[in-house]
Amino acid sequence: MEKVRILYVEDEPFLGRIVKESLESRDYDVHMVADGKDAVPVFNQQRPHICVLDIMLPNRDGYSIAAEIRSSDPRVPIIFVTAKTQTEDVVKGFETGGNDYLRKPFSMEELIVRVNNLLKLNRGTEAATSRISIGKFAFHPNRYELSIGESVRKLSHREAMLLSVLSEHKNVIAQRKDILMRVWGDDSFFNSRNLDVYITKLRDYLREDPAVEIVTIKGVGYRFMA
């Protein structure tokens, strides 16, 4: 069986060595980069299954690395690992293409759980139906696209995952906790707030068809009417 390839970008030698060796001991194939300017060339050469990026790096930060990787590969999962804790830093990470955010210090067990969760979610999206009808919309989960008529909107990885989960629960209630576990990998308060933001985004995207509605069931979850 092919090993999971991980691009790990970290400029702290001690931490980098520990994480790399720990991941390799669990049979991952880790390509570690210490300089931001080298990250994208290594990505293009190795085509990893997942990327783990620090944000503060020499010569190039993790945000710009993620944005360039995402422009060439809309599917590969990206985890930011950083000491930054401000909400705006987290939001910027997601806006530039990140799928998850892990604050330092972290345990290897937590990193591995998040890596495996994103890989599982990514495989699920790859296996998803190529086209899903949502009212007047056509949703293409494999292409991260939502279209109506001639208008096509590109979705982020997280938006596509959330819409996929909601589409599986048309006209029935999707439990909030289940959504969080499938799309974010945990149901923390921070991720719960993120879910609210993403639901608002999807409602805005879908407003062109009044028959499509994401109804909040307070304290329970959402009913996707389509």
pLDDT tens digits for range 1-46:
678 999 999 999 999 999 999 999 999 999 999 999 999 999 999 9
Under 8 Å CB-to-CB from 78, ≥6 apart: which residues? 50, 51, 53, 66, 69, 70, 97, 98, 99, 100
Amino acid letter, residue 221:
G
Please give the class, per CATH, of domain 5-125. alpha beta
The whole-number pLDDT of residue 60 equals 94
Within 10 angstroms of residue 161's Cβ, the number of other Cβ atoms is 25
- What pLDDT digit, counting tens, does each position of 55-85 carry? 999 999 999 999 999 888 878 899 998 887 6
CATH code of 155-225, in short, is 1.10.10.10
Q: In terms of Cα–Cα distance, which of 66, 82, 48 is closest to 157?
A: 66
Q: CA 131 to CA 30: how far, in whole Å?
A: 34
Within 13 Å and on the Cβ side, how many CA atoms surround 171?
4
Q: CA 170 to CA 163: how far, in whole Å?
A: 11
Domain chopping of the chain, boundaries: 5-125, 155-225
